[in-house]
Structure 1
Amino acid sequence: MHQHIEWDDPGKTSVSEYFKNDPNHDAPRRGDILSARYQNRIVRVKVETYREDEGVSVGSVAAILDAHGHRFKTHGKLSLDDIVRLPDDKRAIEHWDEDEK
């Protein structure tokens, strides 16, 4: 069973928006690491399976980080190794603002 997460809107870091006109952009595969935002944290998810009909990756939480790169074992109701569903429209490009370091 997976943990239900209300992912943050990726806004300007949306993977879907960035690649919307790229016909060569592949769907996630088993073993890929994806990023998303949850309560202002960066969450990395290791893909176990991709459900193309739903546009959703299912995988385990591999890391929870803040904007400075500090790692956490838990945040809110999310913990490392939790199984989660990550919709394509919630995937985010991971970047670090120089001002935040």
Structure 2
Amino acid sequence: MKFKADEIASVIQREIETYRSQIETTQVGRVLEVGDGIARVYGLSGSMAGEMVEFPSGVRGQVFNLEENSVGVIILGDYLTISEGDEVKSTGALLSVPVGEAL
């Protein structure tokens, strides 16, 4: 099977013209200290109170205390899996609890 150069060029040109880049940004912070189920995190200055964050171990936390240089996060899981220097990702979602008749 042989391809013609002009056919290849037209396909590439069409792909370039229809390409739409999608950039996703995630706010990331670092654990400064952790103890008794609370983590102090630096770098999440854009977080809102009540926002959920995720630690590398998959444990989630809730932003609770907003300070000038850091935020306090209530850890909703095994805090012993979290260490100083761990990366923390903001989820942009608030804590939600499902409700209904089945509960």
TM-score (norm 2): 0.31
Q: Which has the higher contact order (CA 8 A, sep 6+)?
A: 1
| Bigger radius of gyration | 2
TM-score (norm 1): 0.31
